[in-house]
Amino acid sequence: MAAASPGGDSIRAILLDIEGTTTPIDFVFKTLFPYARTRLNQFLMEHGNQANVREDIEALRDQHASDTAKNLHPPRWIDGSPLLELGSAAAYAVWLIDCGSKCSALKSLQGKIWQEGYRKGELRGEVYPDVPTALVRWRREEKVIAIFSSGSVLAQKLLFSSAAAGDLTRYLHAYFDTTTGAKNAPQSYAQIARTLNVEPAAVLFVSDVEKELEAAKAAGVLTALCVRGKSTGQPAGTHRVIHSLEEIFGAD
C-alpha cells in the first residue's frame, strides 16, 4: 500500500529529479545525449586549452585510470601530443556515454557542450506542462524548491532557463549534482538537507527511480514516486505515487 500524502504545512522544501519527473526522458536520451556525443571531439579540439575544460580532461584521465584498474576495458588513452590526448579524451567520453556513466567529469563536459547548443538556439529546454504551474504555486507558498540530478548544475540551469514557459530558474533556490554525492546514497540527501538548512523530515524528494527514493527515505526524507503517462506496473512500495507535480498538495 502506498504511503499517505504528507501534510503540505510540514514540507518546507521540495527536491526534484529531472529525467522522468520534470522533463521527458526522451528529451535527455534522444536530444541532449546525442547532441553532446556527436560534438565531443570537435568541442575538445576547439576548447581543450581552456582552464575549465582542462579540469574536465584531467578528471577524465583519473577516471580512465580507475576504470582500467577495474578491468573495465575503456578505449586506450594515448598521450604524447595535444591531438592524441584530446582524441583519447573524446573517445573515452563517448565510451562513458554509451555505458550510461554518471561520471561527474563527463557530466561537466556535456554541460559545456549543451551550453553552446542553447546559446546557438539549437537546443531548448523541455518540461512537462504541469511543471511551471507547480513551481509558481510552491513559490507562492514559500516552499524551498531545489533540483538533484546526475546532470551538472550548469546543465540543469540551462534546461530550466530555456523552457517554452519562460525562465523557470527564478523559482528554483538550489541545484545539486553528483559532486554532492550519488543519487542512490543516503548521505547525499542528508547533505542536501543541511545545505538547504531544513530538517530531512521537512524535505520531499520526487523521482521516478525507486532506488533513489529508498536512499532519500533512509536519510529521513519524505518521498513521492513520479509515474508519467501509462503505469509501468512498478509497485509503489512505501512511496506515494503521483502522475503530476500538481498532485503533491492537491489541486487548487
Kindly report the CATH number assigned to the domain that includes residue 236.
Answer: 3.40.50.1000
Domain-located, residue 176: yes
Model confidence at 3, pLDDT cuts 50, 70, 90, reads very low
Give how many domains the chain has, as a whole number: 2
* Start-end of H helices in the chain: 25-26, 33-47, 51-69, 82-98, 104-120, 130-140, 153-161, 186-196, 210-218
How far apart are alpha carbons 91 and 86 in whole angstroms? 9
- Model confidence, pTM: 0.89
Give 80's pLDDT tier (boundaries 50, 70, 90): confident
Mean pLDDT computed over 15-19? 98
Res 235 pLDDT > 80: no
pLDDT score of 229? 76
Domain that holds residue 200: 8-23+126-247
Q: Is 47:112 a contact under the CB 8 Å cutoff?
A: yes
Asked which of 95, 120, 145 is the last residue of a domain, the reply is 120
Average of per-residue pLDDT across 186-215: 97
User: Is residue 145 in a domain?
Assistant: yes
Q: Which residue has the higher pLDDT, 53 or 230?
A: 53
114 plus 167 within the same structural domain: no
Please name every residue paired with 13 in a beta bridge, in sequence order, or none if there are none: 144, 203
pLDDT, tens digit, for every residue of 139-183? 999 999 999 999 999 999 999 999 999 999 999 999 999 999 999
Domain co-membership, 18 together with 35: no
